[in-house]
């Protein structure tokens, strides 16, 4: 007897499988990806009658025919990892359709337990399923369950243990004719014969299912139309549907950013305090700079978005679990289809306006791999919140008041249009000869189970934290090193120190003279002096920062790439700032501040705006924004893309092709613009 019993949970989407999984394993679960695909793999453990039980939650599928990643994953898992027992969760209110998968799962030598779920919902709809009769018809144990109340969960385990311990006696060969194995279906290469055989087999299978249902299901025909009908009449209304969807998404974003602002603030304060503590506790030097600028600044800067991500995923999980997401996909399909995307791509796209990273993670819910990749690929073109500071700095710096709103709107619009164009190109590249047919199940509306949505949001959030601790940490340190080394030589540092000493000495002298002269100390004048001194000192600091940056690798790279940047109208200073933007877009503003030695800069920085106006034309200003919109998805996006697509190649392809596109477009705009 094996010590650990391995159970695989299979079932249709929306059959309540996740709820059963949660009730089976509690919070003891891990989430990962199935190898090579972005399908999430949930695994949990529990103990039952002294045995360790591990449960794998397979993705929700309608068949095992390998038409989607989910189906392939489920079929391969069952074939290669041969779990001890398969538990098939079926929705009692939708038995006929659910049994199609059950028949596909039924295979000699594979212990199978059917969990007849949501029997309460079914009864309310006037559907009564005779579990004993069903068990007899199918030749497998059938357990009645109500997932959200945990009814029948222990019985599932009991049956599973019983089957695993005495598989040969418990699993009687089915009394029904051998149903076609789904593996035959996936041999799509053998052409016409197979297809014909398959269609006939499917019809036969449904005929058999119909026979089983006729014996086991009693339907009360007089039950009034379901509430879903009435809700759908409004939510999928041909005119009202879209506005309602937009309002719902607006609410989600508001919640994400408004509600998330508080914990984000606490985190920022916390990281600030941490920085201050290290600042006080450590001596100036590389170690201190590494901790404060690279580790706290880089990793902390990404971790502060955790609350937003948690709230966003919670909201999306609720929308998904309630059944609304399928309706939203239906409504948007018409627009998305034109560029080869799926209706469901609209949600990641909208999320992307807030932040690209959760957008890419939200693309998980797309079923088709090509559509998922295409969606993730174009997501950085939906201008995220981190790019806003760049626009907020540059637009007022270069454009008159009456133009500002239109230009900002234009930038966002260019991003959306480009996303459409790129998606269309990918559509051609992927050779989607036939777009995945649009057919989607609209599950009955139901109240989301808090346990399910909460746990999923937490798990995804934890994945984000792990990423911040690894990949983002490494890139932060690298960028820090690029802007820090090589350091100024001793002579230059001494020169700046001497300059500072001179200013301080001069001030002391003035003070001493004033005291000597016994003049009536005029406070105002003293204060003015102090201010002037502080300003002078800041100027020296800024000059030192500039000298440091110019000497650093980042500065040298900036100079090195200047020939490439020239056609777009950029000089090495912009180039150096752009290198900072590789890490995170908002760093561009801070970095530009350093290059122009105006000290600490943010987007409201008036001196920086003035400096920019003095040095560049509005055309260059616009080109910077255009370039930042399209080029170099930030490092967090890069990491998310690599993780979610299952391959670094996709992340590299996205990064380099978007950057190349940005270069071409910006060059085009600059060169044409320069003619006038």
**Residue 46 or 63 with smaller CB distance to other proteins:** 63
Q: How far is the CB of 65 from other proteins (least distance, A)?
A: 6
The single residue among 33, 183, 236, 507 that binds other proteins, judged by CB under 8 A, is 236
For residue 326, state whether it binds other proteins (rule: CB under 8 A).
Answer: yes
The single residue among 33, 135, 228, 529 that binds other proteins, judged by CB under 8 A, is 228
The single residue among 231, 440, 543, 661 that binds other proteins, judged by CB under 8 A, is 440
φ, ψ at 172 (rounded to 5°) = -85, 145
For residue 536, state whether it binds other proteins (rule: CB under 8 A).
Answer: no
Binding span for other proteins by CB under 8 A among 384-392, 432-440, 450-458, 558-566: 432-440
As a whole number of angstroms, the distance between CA 498 and CA 143 comes to: 84
Binding span for other proteins by CB under 8 A among 96-104, 257-265, 351-359, 576-584: 96-104
Q: Look at residues 156, 157, 153, 11 and name the one whose alpha carbon lies nearest to residue 95.
A: 11
Binding span for other proteins by CB under 8 A among 57-65, 254-262, 347-355, 486-494: 57-65
As a whole number of angstroms, the distance between CA 119 and CA 20 comes to: 13
- What number of CA atoms fall less than 13 Å from residue 513's CA on the CB side? 7
Read off the tokens for 38.
Answer: 């972005």
DSSP annotation of 364 reads G
Which value, to the nearest 10 degrees, does the dihedral of the CA atoms of residues 657, 572, 301, 252 take? -50
Read off the tokens for 103.
Answer: 């028949």
Q: How far is the CB of 185 from other proteins (least distance, A)?
A: 7
The single residue among 21, 34, 42, 62 that binds other proteins, judged by CB under 8 A, is 62
CA distances from 523 to 507, 514, 528, 530 (A): 15, 12, 8, 10
Which value, to the nearest 10 degrees, does the dihedral of the CA atoms of residues 289, 295, 298, 300 take? -120
Q: Does the N-terminal peptide bond of residue 445 adopt cis geometry, omega within 30 degrees of 0?
A: no
87 forms beta bridges with: 9, 113
For residue 340, state whether it binds other proteins (rule: CB under 8 A).
Answer: no
CA distances from 400 to 388, 605, 669 (A): 18, 17, 20
**Residue 240 or 261 with smaller CB distance to other proteins:** 240
As a whole number of angstroms, the distance between CA 674 and CA 424 comes to: 30
The single residue among 238, 283, 431, 447 that binds other proteins, judged by CB under 8 A, is 238
For residue 430, state whether it binds other proteins (rule: CB under 8 A).
Answer: no
In degrees, rounded to 5, the angle at the alpha carbon of residue 442 between the alpha carbons of residues 8 and 73 is 30
**Residue 33 or 432 with smaller CB distance to other proteins:** 432
**Residue 320 or 603 with smaller CB distance to other proteins:** 320
- Indicate the pairing of strand 142-144 with strand 112-117: parallel
For residue 330, state whether it binds other proteins (rule: CB under 8 A).
Answer: yes
Q: How far is the CB of 450 from other proteins (least distance, A)?
A: 25
**Residue 214 or 521 with smaller CB distance to other proteins:** 214
Read off the tokens for 189.
Answer: 């290469």
For residue 106, state whether it binds other proteins (rule: CB under 8 A).
Answer: no
As a whole number of angstroms, the distance between CA 183 and CA 527 comes to: 85
Binding span for other proteins by CB under 8 A among 29-37, 309-317, 439-447, 590-598: 439-447
**Residue 64 or 390 with smaller CB distance to other proteins:** 64
Q: How far is the CB of 119 from other proteins (least distance, A)?
A: 14
**Residue 115 or 393 with smaller CB distance to other proteins:** 115
Q: Look at residues 266, 50, 307 and name the one whose alpha carbon lies nearest to residue 161.
A: 50
- Indicate the pairing of strand 40-48 with strand 29-33: antiparallel
What angle do helix axes 450-467 and 306-322 make, rounded to 10 degrees? Answer: 150
For residue 563, state whether it binds other proteins (rule: CB under 8 A).
Answer: no
As a whole number of angstroms, the distance between CA 564 and CA 445 comes to: 55
For residue 96, state whether it binds other proteins (rule: CB under 8 A).
Answer: yes
φ, ψ at 4 (rounded to 5°) = -100, 130
Binding span for other proteins by CB under 8 A among 50-58, 226-234, 377-385, 418-426: 226-234
**Residue 157 or 330 with smaller CB distance to other proteins:** 330
Q: How far is the CB of 339 from other proteins (least distance, A)?
A: 15
459 forms beta bridges with: none
Identify the three-state secondary structure at position 10.
Answer: strand
Binding span for other proteins by CB under 8 A among 91-99, 249-257, 491-499, 579-587: 91-99
The single residue among 334, 505, 506, 649 that binds other proteins, judged by CB under 8 A, is 334
The single residue among 277, 438, 485, 648 that binds other proteins, judged by CB under 8 A, is 438
**Residue 124 or 334 with smaller CB distance to other proteins:** 334
For the segment 443-472, give every residue that binds other proteins (CB under 8 A). Answer: 443-444
**Residue 185 or 372 with smaller CB distance to other proteins:** 185
**Residue 58 or 127 with smaller CB distance to other proteins:** 127
Q: How far is the CB of 366 from other proteins (least distance, A)?
A: 15
As a whole number of angstroms, the distance between CA 593 and CA 59 comes to: 49
For residue 391, state whether it binds other proteins (rule: CB under 8 A).
Answer: no
Q: How far is the CB of 262 from other proteins (least distance, A)?
A: 39
89 forms beta bridges with: 11, 115
Q: What is the pattern of x (binds other proteins, CB under 8 A) and - over residues 171-210? A: --------------x--x------x--xx--xx--x----
In degrees, rounded to 5, the angle at the alpha carbon of residue 119 between the alpha carbons of residues 148 and 172 is 110
Q: How far is the CB of 63 from other proteins (least distance, A)?
A: 4
Of all helices (H) and strands (E), which one includes residue 580? helix 572-583
Q: How far is the CB of 334 from other proteins (least distance, A)?
A: 4
For residue 93, state whether it binds other proteins (rule: CB under 8 A).
Answer: yes
For residue 619, state whether it binds other proteins (rule: CB under 8 A).
Answer: no
For residue 321, state whether it binds other proteins (rule: CB under 8 A).
Answer: no
- Indicate the pairing of strand 4-11 with strand 51-57: parallel
For residue 1, state whether it binds other proteins (rule: CB under 8 A).
Answer: no
As a whole number of angstroms, the distance between CA 390 and CA 634 comes to: 14
Read off the tokens for 617.
Answer: 């034309």
Binding span for other proteins by CB under 8 A among 29-37, 234-242, 402-410, 516-524: 234-242
Q: How many CB atoms lie within 10 A of CB 215?
A: 11
Return the exposure string of 156-195: e unless at least 16 CB atoms fall within 10 Å of the residue's CB, then b.
bbebbbbbbeeeeebbeebebeebbebeebbeeeeeeeee
For residue 441, state whether it binds other proteins (rule: CB under 8 A).
Answer: yes
The size of the interface with other proteins (CB under 8 A), counted in residues, is 41
Binding residues vs other proteins (CB under 8 A) = 62-63, 65, 67, 93-97, 100-101, 127, 185, 188, 195, 198-199, 202-203, 206, 228-229, 232-233, 236, 238, 241, 326, 330, 333-334, 337, 434, 437-444
């Amino acid at each position: 007897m094996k010590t650990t019993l391995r159970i695989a949970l299979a079932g249709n989407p929306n059959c309540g499988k996740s709820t059963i999984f949660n009730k089976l394993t509690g919070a003891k679960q891990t989430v990962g990806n199935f190898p090579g695909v972005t399908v999430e793999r949930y695994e949990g453990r529990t103990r039952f009658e002294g045995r360790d039980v591990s449960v794998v939650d397979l993705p929700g599928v309608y068949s095992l025919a390998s038409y989607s990643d989910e189906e392939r994953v489920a079929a391969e898992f069952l074939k290669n990892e041969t779990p001890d027992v398969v538990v098939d969760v079926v929705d009692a209110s939708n038995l006929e359709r659910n049994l199609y998968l059950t028949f596909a799962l039924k295979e000699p030598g594979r212990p199978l337990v059917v969990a007849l779920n949501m029997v309460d919902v079914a009864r309310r709809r006037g559907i009564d399923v005779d579990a004993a009769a069903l068990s007899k018809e199918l030749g497998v144990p059938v357990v009645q369950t109500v997932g959200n109340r945990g009814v029948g969960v222990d019985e599932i385990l009991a049956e599973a243990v019983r089957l695993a311990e005495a598989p040969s006696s418990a699993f009687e060969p089915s009394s029904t004719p051998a149903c076609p194995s789904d593996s035959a279906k996936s041999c799509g290469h053998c052409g016409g014969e197979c297809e014909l055989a398959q269609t006939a087999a499917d019809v036969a299978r449904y005929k058999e299912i119909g026979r089983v249902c006729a014996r086991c299901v009693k339907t009360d025909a007089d039950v009034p139309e379901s509430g879903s009908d009435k809700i759908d009449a409004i939510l999928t209304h041909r005119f009202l549907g879209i506005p309602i969807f937009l309002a719902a998404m607006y609410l989600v974003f508001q919640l994400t950013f408004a509600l998330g602002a508080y914990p984000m603030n606490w985190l920022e304060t916390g990281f600030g305090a941490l920085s201050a503590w290290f600042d006080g506790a450590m001596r100036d030097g590389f170690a201190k700079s590494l901790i404060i600028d690279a580790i706290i600044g880089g990793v902390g800067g990404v971790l502060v978005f955790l609350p937003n991500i948690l709230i966003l995923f919670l909201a999306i999980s609720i929308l998904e679990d309630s059944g609304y997401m399928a309706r939203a996909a239906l409504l948007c399909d018409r627009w998305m289809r034109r560029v080869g995307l799926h209706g469901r791509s609209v949600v990641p796209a909208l999320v992307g306006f807030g932040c690209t990273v959760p957008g890419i993670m939200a693309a998980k819910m797309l079923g088709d791999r090509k559509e998922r990749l295409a969606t993730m690929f174009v997501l950085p073109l939906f201008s995220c919140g981190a790019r806003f500071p760049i626009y907020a700095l540059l637009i007022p710096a270069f454009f008159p008041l009456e133009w500002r709103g239109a230009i900002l709107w234009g930038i966002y619009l260019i991003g959306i249009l480009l996303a459409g164009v790129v998606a269309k190109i990918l559509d051609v590249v992927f050779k989607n000869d036939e777009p995945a047919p649009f057919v989607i199940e609209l599950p009955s509306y139901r109240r989301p189970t808090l346990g399910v949505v909460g746990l999923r949001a937490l798990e995804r959030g934890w994945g984000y934290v792990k990423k911040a601790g690894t990949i983002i940490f490494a890139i932060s340190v690298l960028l820090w090193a690029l802007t820090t080394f090589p350091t100024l030589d001793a002579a230059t540092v001494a020169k700046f120190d001497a300059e500072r000493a001179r200013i301080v000495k001069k001030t002391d002298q003035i003070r001493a003279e004033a005291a000597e002269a016994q003049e009536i100390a005029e406070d105002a004048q003293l204060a003015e002096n102090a201010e002037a001194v502080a300003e002078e000192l800041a100027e020296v600091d800024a000059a030192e920062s500039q000298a440091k940056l110019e000497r650093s690798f980042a500065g040298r790279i900036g100079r090195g790439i200047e020939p490439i940047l020239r056609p777009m109208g950029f000089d090495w200073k912009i180039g150096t700032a752009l290198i900072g933007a590789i890490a995170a877009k908002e760093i561009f503003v801070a970095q530009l501040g350093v290059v122009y030695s105006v000290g600490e800069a943010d987007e409201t920085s008036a001196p920086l705006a003035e400096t920019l106006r003095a040095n560049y034309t509005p055309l260059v200003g616009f080109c910077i924004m255009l370039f930042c919109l399209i080029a170099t998805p930030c490092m967090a996006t890069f990491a998310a893309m690599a993780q979610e697509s299952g391959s670094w190649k996709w992340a590299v392809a996205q990064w380099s092709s978007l950057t190349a596109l940005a270069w071409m477009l910006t060059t085009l705009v600059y060169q044409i613009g320069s003619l006038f």
